[in-house]
């Protein structure tokens, strides 16, 4: 009897031991942190526990310590600020990676410096290879005049050149490049594009919007290895900046194939949502792909459309002419010739359940897209579509309400505001500029914001985006208190729009965007507390560590060894 009793005690003891161990130990605990969760149910915390690729606990150090086991890795955050990983809602990821290796022209502050850098790169360029990239900005020159091929021809007699303006809506080609592309005085302007010409009608080498395609047809596409190298460079750069997710606008399908290849190899360190161009809409429709199709690291199911061009290239489409170009209202893109072509493509995309992301910058371009969205809703009924307008820069006053009524997301890039604010009023005047980059007005109308950079048009660094959104201090130093300061965001609003806002914009708000138990463990540890320092100092903040799915993808200590 006594023996049976002892056996029962042992069995019960084993059962209790097993029961006590049913909660598995965390793989990683980050403790002693100042956690801003972007989760209204628990905005602040001290520690986070991660099991696999998910967050399993958020709370005080004592609460989270219950998840510690013998093999749990513990990171002491030393009181630093921990945020959800940044989700860039609008990038050109492969192009950005490529530009890291291309000639850098954006900070060339004179035509002479512009030419010097091109000459030096041409001397290192193999014969027959094109000189690309650049991101030049003539507004930093004095006088601020568009460059012409005569400027660079003497420096590049045997090297074809096609260097892009930083907004991506204009390129400068040298004479050799124009010859290879067959662009002459007799070449007509394509719909949605302009071949800039001199007084004799000869091409100056500057090509705007759809006219760029005339030249790009002559540029050899990057090889598989070149494309992969650029994407790997972009992934490394993103990790170093705390960017854990990106939404890649108008990728080639070859880019998506590289993402898939890297995913199979376990080397995709940034989460990707890819939106190919809308002329290719039937590629996704015919195989039944719907919005946000795929897995945690790689998804498709969206299309990117273009309504117009850009303010800097004077091709954004406005109701009234530009103040400095009275005969020019801008351009509708080639995809909008005729507008019914865009409407039909958008109707097909919506009927198939695809998400639509439409580039629109000028007030008339934005209004035209809202018109089409309204027609689609009337034809197909109401549902959760999460339509987006990318950039949404220069709004007509009447259209803030329409954004809200149609539940359109404003996918905006605050850095553009402090860049364009140097010169925008000369182009569109004070009144139209007052509705430019209207972040506060959007929020006041109940419109959701998703923040991004438009990299490589602007820097990928989220600290510069937060700085721009919260200060609106233009890059020329002339508006230290903010260009139209009434449109500033608070730091907390900007972080939320850069995490939860961007996650919502890709139908992923239940998977990421906040430091919440059950969500993907995408987080960034910062050198300084962006919530307590002067917003002017945010641009100086550095990333210490980046985690994607609980895996450390960047560590400043390792990078600086």
Is 554 part of any domain?
Answer: no
CB 82 within 8 A of CB 30: yes
Greatest CA span in the chain, whole angstroms? Answer: 113
Q: Does 143 sit behind a cis peptide bond, omega within 30 degrees of 0 on the bond before it?
A: yes
CB 312 within 8 A of CB 139: yes
117-138 core/surface letters (b: 16 or more CB in 10 A; e: else): bbeebbeebeeeebbbbbbbbb
Residue 22 is predicted with a pLDDT of: 65
CB 211 within 8 A of CB 189: yes
For residues 523-547, give the mean pLDDT.
98
- Residue 108 Cα to chain centre, angstroms: 24
For residues 148-165, give the mean pLDDT.
95
Residue 19 is predicted with a pLDDT of: 41
Is 170 part of any domain?
Answer: yes
Is 179 part of any domain?
Answer: yes
11 has a pLDDT exceeding 70: no
H/E stretch holding 547? strand 543-548
Contacts of 421 (CB under 8 A, 6+ apart): 472, 474, 475, 479, 483
For residues 42-58, give the mean pLDDT.
98
Residue 560 is predicted with a pLDDT of: 73
Residue 124 is predicted with a pLDDT of: 92
- Residue 441 Cα to chain centre, angstroms: 22
27 has a pLDDT exceeding 80: yes
Which of 123-127, 245-249, 274-278, 557-561 shows the lowest mean pLDDT across its residues?
557-561
Work out the pLDDT band at 561, boundaries 50, 70, 90: low
Is 175 part of any domain?
Answer: yes
Is 100 part of any domain?
Answer: yes
Which pair of tokens denotes residue 276?
């190919």
What global pTM score does this model have?
A: 0.92
Domain range for 126: 95-216
- What is the C-alpha separation between 316 and 416, in angstroms, rounded? 14
Distances (CA, A) of 127 to 21, 96, 124, 130, 220: 67, 24, 9, 9, 14
pLDDT, tens digit, 9 for 90 and up, residues 165-192:
988 899 999 999 999 999 999 999 999 9
184-214 core/surface letters (b: 16 or more CB in 10 A; e: else): eeeeebbebbbbbeeeeeebbbbbbbbbbeb
Is 128 part of any domain?
Answer: yes
Residue 183 is predicted with a pLDDT of: 97
Burial class (CB in 10 A: 0-12, 13-18, 19+), 455: buried
Residue 343 is predicted with a pLDDT of: 98
Which pair of tokens denotes residue 359?
């580039």
For residues 464-470, give the mean pLDDT.
98
pLDDT, tens digit, 9 for 90 and up, residues 335-369:
999 999 999 999 999 999 999 999 999 999 999 99
**Which residue stretches of 79-141 are H helix?**
93-99, 111-124
Round to the nearest angstrom and report the end-to-end CA distance of the chain: 68
35 has a pLDDT exceeding 60: yes
CATH of the domain at 207: 3.10.310.70
CA angle in degrees (0–180, nearest 5) for 170-175-178: 60
CB 433 within 8 A of CB 470: no
Instruction: Give the full edge-to-edge strand order of the sheet including 170-173.
Output: 103-104, 131-136, 161-165, 170-173, 203-209, 193-197
Is 118 part of any domain?
Answer: yes
For residues 13-30, give the mean pLDDT.
66
- Provide DSSP, 64-93: HHTT--TT-EEEE-TT-EEEEPEEEEEE-H
Distances (CA, A) of 184 to 175, 315, 409: 10, 22, 42
- What is the C-alpha separation between 473 and 419, in angstroms, rounded? 9
CB atoms within 10 A of CB 482: 18
Residue 559 is predicted with a pLDDT of: 76
CB 541 within 8 A of CB 528: yes
131 has a pLDDT exceeding 90: yes
Residue 2 is predicted with a pLDDT of: 39
Backbone angles phi, psi at 108, to 5 degrees: -75, 115
Residue 13 is predicted with a pLDDT of: 40
- Strand positions, DSSP E, 116-240: 131-136, 161-165, 170-173, 193-197, 203-209
Is 147 part of any domain?
Answer: yes
Residue 4 is predicted with a pLDDT of: 45
- What is the C-alpha separation between 421 and 441, in angstroms, rounded? 17
Which of 470-477's residues contact partners 24+ apart within 8 Å by CB, and which partners? 470/494, 470/535, 470/538, 471/418, 471/535, 471/536, 472/414, 472/417, 472/418, 472/421, 472/437, 473/418, 473/536, 474/418, 474/419, 474/421, 474/422, 475/418, 475/419, 475/421, 475/422, 476/422
How many separate domains does the chain show? 1
Percentage above 90 pLDDT, the chain:
93
- What is the C-alpha separation between 461 and 531, in angstroms, rounded? 17
For residues 275-304, give the mean pLDDT.
97
Residue with tokens 């965001």: 489
CB atoms within 10 A of CB 263: 16
């Amino acid at each position: 009897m006594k023996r049976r009793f002892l056996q029962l005690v042992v069995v019960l003891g084993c059962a209790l031991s097993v029961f006590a161990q049913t909660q598995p130990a965390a793989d990683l605990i980050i403790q002693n942190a100042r956690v801003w969760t972007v989760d209204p149910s628990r905005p602040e915390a001290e520690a986070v526990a991660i099991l696999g690729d998910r967050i399993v606990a958020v709370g005080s150090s004592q609460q989270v310590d219950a998840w510690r086991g013998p093999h749990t890795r513990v990171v002491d955050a030393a009181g630093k600020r921990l945020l959800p990983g940044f989700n860039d809602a609008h990038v050109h990821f492969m192009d950005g990676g490529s530009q890291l290796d291309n000639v850098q022209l954006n900070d060339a502050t004179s035509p002479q410096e512009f030419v010097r850098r091109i000459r030096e790169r041409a001397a290192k360029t193999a014969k027959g290879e094109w000189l690309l990239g650049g991101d030049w900005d003539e507004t930093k020159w004095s006088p601020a005049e568009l460059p012409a091929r005569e400027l660079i021809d003497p420096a590049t007699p045997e090297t074809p050149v096609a260097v892009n303006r930083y907004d991506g809506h204009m390129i400068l080609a040298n004479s050799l490049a124009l010859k290879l592309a067959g662009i002459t005085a007799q070449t007509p302007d394509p719909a949605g594009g302009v071949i800039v010409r001199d007084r004799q009608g000869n091409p100056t080498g500057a090509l705007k919007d759809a006219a760029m395609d005339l030249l790009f047809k002559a540029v050899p596409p990057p090889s598989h290895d070149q494309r992969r190298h650029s994407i790997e460079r972009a992934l490394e750069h993103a990790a170093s900046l705390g960017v854990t997710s990106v939404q890649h606008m108008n990728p080639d399908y070859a880019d998506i194939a590289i993402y898939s290849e890297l995913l199979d190899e376990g080397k995709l360190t940034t989460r990707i949502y890819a939106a190919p161009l809308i002329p290719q809409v039937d590629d996704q429709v015919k195989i039944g792909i719907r919005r946000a199709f795929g897995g945690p690291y790689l998804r498709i199911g969206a299309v990117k459309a273009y309504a117009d061009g850009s303010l800097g290239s004077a091709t954004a489409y406005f109701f009234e002419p530009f103040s400095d170009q009275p005969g020019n209202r801008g351009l509708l893109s080639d995809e909008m010739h005729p507008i019914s072509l865009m409407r039909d493509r958008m109707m097909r995309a919506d009927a198939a359940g695809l998400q639509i992301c439409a580039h629109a910058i000028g007030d008339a371009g934005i209004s035209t897209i809202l018109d089409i969205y309204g027609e689609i809703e009337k034809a197909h009924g109401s549902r959760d579509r999460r339509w987006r307008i990318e950039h949404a820069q220069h709004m007509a006053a009447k259209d803030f309400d329409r954004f809200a009524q149609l539940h359109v997301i404003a996918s905006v890039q605050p850095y553009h505001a402090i860049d364009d604010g140097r010169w925008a009023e000369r182009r569109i005047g004070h009144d139209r500029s007052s509705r430019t980059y209207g972040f506060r007005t959007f929020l006041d109308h109940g419109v959701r914001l998703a923040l991004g950079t438009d990299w490589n048009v602007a820097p990928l660094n989220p600290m510069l985006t937060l700085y721009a959104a919260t200060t609106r201090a233009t890059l020329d130093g002339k508006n230290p208190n903010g260009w139209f300061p009434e449109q500033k965001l608070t730091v907390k609003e900007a972080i939320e729009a850069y995490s939860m806002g961007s996650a919502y914009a890709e139908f992923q708000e239940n998977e990421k965007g906040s430091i919440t138990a059950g969500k993907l463990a995408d987080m960034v540890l910062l050198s300084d507390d962006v919530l307590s320092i002067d917003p002017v100092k945010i641009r100086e903040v550095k990333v210490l560590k980046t985690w994607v799915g609980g895996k450390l993808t960047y560590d400043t200590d390792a990078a600086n060894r």
